[in-house]
Amino acid sequence: MQKQNVIPAQTPKVTFIQARKQDTAKLRVAAYARVSSDSDDQQNSYIAQVDYYTKHIAAQEGWELADIYADEGISGLVASKRDDFNRMIQDCRDGKIDRVIVKSISRFARNTKEYIQYVRELLRLGVSIHFEKENIDTGKMTSEQIATIYGAFAQMESQNHSNNMRISVRIRMEKGDYLSPSMPYGYRLEERTLIIIPEQAEVVRRIYTAYLSGQGIEDIANELNKTGIPRTKGRTVWHPSTIMYILTNISYTGDMLWQKSFATNEIPFRQVRNNGEKPKYFVENCHEAIISKDDFRRVQTLLESRRNQAGGTVSSALLSKKIYCGNCGTLFRRKIVNEKVYWTCRKHDRDKDLCPISQIPEEQIITAILRMYHKLKRHREQILSPILNQLTELREKELRSNRKINDIDKEIAQLTEQNLVLVRLKSKGYVDSALYLSQTGEIDFKLRELRRQRRRIMESTGEDSQIKATEAMLDYLEDSPESLEKLTDELFETLVANISILSETEMNISLYNGLMLKETMERTVR
């Protein structure tokens, strides 16, 4: 056996390479605030909170300010009315925020369902929320039960706040110094007094003169639309319901009638017509009149006379174009049996074996439509506003690839940041009030113009017909009466695209924005 030579192993040479320190990304922190509803304190409150959160976030190592969102003087009961809150939620969805700071749960949401909805969504997105007052960090919660409990407390707090507000409003009404949160068209508020806006007052007088001269409310609305006379709150279209509201508003005589409607006690609070359940308060000569009391009384008399003559019901010609059979698709026709009006499937009327759906009394169809109207009127924010938001989100997603839209959005973001910087400088006393107002005014003008450009581009896509229809419906429902006893042409033409009779007891009502609602019809003995 040959002896093998063994080469001893050399000692390994080890070179130590220092581990590279990883760059730790800073936590992008946003703050959400709601400022005082008192118009005198809004700006100061906003500046104070911006200053507080800017300093607070800057003092935390590893944090950077994403943005500060604030809604001024807006109730937290309905999220759809909070523009900056919705902007913050969208920024969270877009991955721009890691953490949100808010003073208390009641500032974030005052409705348990809504509160839990957004807490869950932000947690799924990896965004934690810190509620300072309750010292709750959703990123550290082990159970959503905690969030539910505190959400319930927030709802209770909202109810208590609402009750306190009601008492305060009632006391002010009894003293005669109550001010409505919304001003009638033709007036502005100055030092707690309604002051006439001359150009709008002329429109109000024109409406009264036209009606007293024999024009109908639809003709008046059409004439104002043709001449391009603007409304308020960015609205451009005059509806017959808007004309009716002006013609029946006693405020134009210099008098006021308070508590014509009232809020329910249950959340979500909703306004309902006061049919004697609550006291009303009539105040005489509390501001300058636009219309004389004699002209107002003459208009009310004429309205009642025309209402009795016309009956205020929807025309048969309009119904005949929109009622279809849900079984065979045939258009329904009107027929009178023993002086009672019915609508029947043409095939069934010709041969009962062709279609099983028999004739339906007109009064049952009208009652079902009115029931649908009252549901939409009372719950429009819960029914139509989410649809509008969904449609808007879908359209936004389609437009994100649009280069012009992206450029405008970048410019809007830059201007918004400039506005925030100005607020910070003003809060620290580095910018005087005159310069601050001048600069912010210029920025606001540019923002409005950019948003107009954005709207024009979005409208040019041809994909927003449903959005426009939903907006028109919300606009109409806001101006229309809380309660209707008769179906009108205006209501039918604004809301109802068509009706499908499914059976003797059920029908589908298709609205102009594509929404379909099912309603029941109570059968009566014929």
Both 443 and 324 in one domain: the answer is yes
454-483 b/e (C-beta count within 10 Å ≥ 16 → b):
beeebeeeeebebbebbbbbbbbbebbeee
pLDDT computed for residue 32 by the predictor: 92
- pLDDT of 373 > 70? The answer is yes
Same structural domain for residues 207 and 296? yes
At 29, is the pLDDT very low, low, confident or very high (cuts 50, 70, 90)? Answer: very high
Question: What is the rounded average pLDDT of the residues 344-356?
Answer: 88
Regarding whether 120 and 49 lie in a shared domain, the answer is yes
Do residues 280 and 401 both lie within one domain? no
- 153 burial class (0-12, 13-18, 19+ CB within 10 angstroms)? middle
Domains in the chain, number? 3
Measured distance CA(41)–CA(199) in Å, rounded: 30
Mark whether 276 and 330 lie in a shared domain: no
At 143, the amino acid letter reads S
What is the distance between the alpha carbons of residues 343 and 364, in angstroms, rounded to a whole number?
10
Is residue 514 in a domain? yes
The residue from 310, 343, 370 where one domain ends is: 310
Residue 141 has which token pair?
Answer: 């919660």
Is pLDDT larger for residue 33 or for residue 416?
33
What is the residue whose two structure tokens read 């639309």? Answer: 225
How do strand 187-190 and strand 193-196 relate by DSSP bridges? Answer: antiparallel
With contact defined as beta carbons under 8 Å apart, do 184 and 190 qualify?
Answer: no
- Clarify whether residues 341 and 286 are in a common domain: no
CATH code of 70's domain: 3.40.50.1390
In a domain, 20, yes or no: no
Nearest CA-CA partner of 271 in 188, 184, 181: 181
For 97, residues 6+ apart whose C-beta sits below 8 A from its C-beta are 28, 29, 30, 66, 67, 88, 91, 127
Query: Among 95-99, 109-113, 119-123, 463-467, where is mean pLDDT lowest?
Result: 109-113
Last residue of a domain, one of 132, 164, 196: 164
Q: Which pLDDT score is estimated for 501? A: 92
Q: Which of 137-151, 247-261, 509-523 has the lowest mean pLDDT?
A: 137-151
331 to 321, 342, 351, 365, 504: CA distances (angstroms): 8, 14, 15, 15, 16
In a domain, 437, yes or no: yes
- Provide the pLDDT for residue 77: 47
Q: CA-CA-CA-CA torsion for 76, 269, 120, 156, nearest 10 degrees?
A: 80
Domain boundary among 310, 328, 349: 310
Query: Do 122 and 205 reside in the same domain of the chain?
Result: no
Cα Dmax for the chain: 136
Q: Would you say residue 11 lies in a domain?
A: no
How does DSSP assign 170-238, residue by residue? HHHHHHT----SSPPTTEEEETTEEEE-HHHHHHHHHHHHHHHTT--HHHHHHHHHHHT---STT--PP
pLDDT higher than 60, residue 274: no
- C-alpha–C-alpha distance, residues 276 and 280, integer Å: 8
Bond prior to 268 in cis (omega within 30° of 0): yes
The pLDDT assigned to 181 comes to 56
Same-domain check for residues 218 and 89: no
d(CA 150, CA 134): 9
Q: What is the pLDDT of residue 366?
A: 87
Same domain, 283 and 371: no
Cα(323)–Cα(508) distance, rounded to whole angstroms? 10
| DSSP one-letter string for 282-317 | EE-S-S--SS-HHHHHHHHHHHHHHHHHHTTPPPHH
Residues above pLDDT 90, as percent of the chain = 6
pLDDT at 100 over 90: yes
User: pTM higher than 0.75, yes or no?
Assistant: no
Distance CA 363, CA 370 (A): 10
- Strands 281-283, 256-258: parallel, antiparallel or unpaired by DSSP? antiparallel
Domain assignment of residue 237, given as a range: 176-310
SS3 call for 416 = helix
- Residue 317 has a pLDDT of 67
At residue 182 the predicted structure's pLDDT band, cuts being 50, 70 and 90, is low
How large is the average pLDDT for residues 184-210? 84
What Å distances lie between residue 118 and 127, 147, 164, 303, 382, CA to CA?
10, 11, 27, 48, 16
Q: Are 227 and 203 in contact (CB under 8 A)?
A: no
> 49: exposed, middle or buried (C-beta count within 10 Å: 0-12, 13-18, 19+)?
buried
Q: Do 403 and 479 sit in the same domain of this protein?
A: yes
Higher pLDDT among residues 244 and 147, named by residue: 244
What percent of the chain is predicted at pLDDT more than 70?
70
pLDDT at 312: 45
Find where tokens 């002209």 sit. Answer: 295
Provide the CATH number for the domain around residue 301. Answer: 3.90.1750.20
Sign of CA dihedral 58, 63, 69, 75: negative
Closest C-alpha among 192, 115, 191 to residue 153: 115
Q: Which of 372, 335, 362 is nearest to 350 (CA)?
A: 335
Q: Are 253 and 186 in contact, with CB atoms under 8 Å apart?
A: no
pLDDT band at 508 (very low <50, low <70, confident <90, very high): very high
Query: Do 275 and 408 belong to one domain?
Result: no
Residues 39 and 158 reside in one and the same domain:
yes
pLDDT at 264 over 80: no
Please, which pLDDT band fits residue 110 given cuts at 50, 70 and 90? Answer: low
